[in-house]
Amino acid sequence: MKSKIAASLLAFALAACNSEPAQPAASVAASEAAPAAAAPPQKDPLLSAVGIGVSDLEKSAAFYMDVMGMEKIRTYELDYMNEILLRYPDGESYLVLMHWIDGSKRNYKDNPIKLVTRVKDPMALAAKIKAAGFEVTREPQPSDQVGGATVGFAKDPDGYVLELLPLRQLAPPADPAATPAPAPSSN
């Protein structure tokens, strides 16, 4: 069974690396193999995708798309599992929602998983999560424990922890007027 899961995640990673950003969501049956597209240049190393087991595939997909702002890239219907591949628009990493349909018992609730997301406005995202009926366990606010950075926490439909962070701020360009001029040479 572990080899099936590993093969499934590997297939997602390969598909994610070869997918075109503008492709609409598609469903691929296990017996259909999509032709490989020419892979764009990639960063090295790159974490391509993370998969999480979910108890209700459609409910979780709706949460990650409607509340978190992700888009569905494609779905897979395998003989033992159904999966949905999501990402943020223009994102480079993917989230794989996995639901086993082979009758095996799975623990989908409150697993020790944390998904970290960066957004323009963590407070607005926390409000959106609450409005959709999901739990915000810590309102986004500065934390002395991490140097004053704004950090918030929430939970998805299966209780996975979502860490809500602001986008990274780019360092402002150096002010050339503030840089001292080199001393004149005495030649």
* Domain map (residue ranges) of the chain: 1-108, 109-170
Q: Which residues are catalytic?
A: 163
| CATH T-level topology, domain 1-108 | 2,3-Dihydroxybiphenyl 1,2-Dioxygenase; domain 1 (3.10.180)
| CATH T-level topology, domain 109-170 | 3.30.720
Which residues, at least 6 apart from 95, have a Cβ–Cβ distance to it below 8 Å?
49, 50, 51, 52, 64, 70, 85, 86, 87, 115
16-66: per-residue pLDDT in tens?
A: 444 444 344 555 554 455 555 665 666 678 788 999 999 999 999 999 999
pLDDT at 38: 66
164-183: per-residue pLDDT in tens?
A: 999 987 666 666 565 555 55
- Rounded distance, CA 6 to CA 41, Å? 24
Mean pLDDT for the stretch of residues 73-85: 97
> For residues 77 and 178, which has the higher predicted lDDT (pLDDT)?
77
Start-to-end Cα distance in the chain: 78
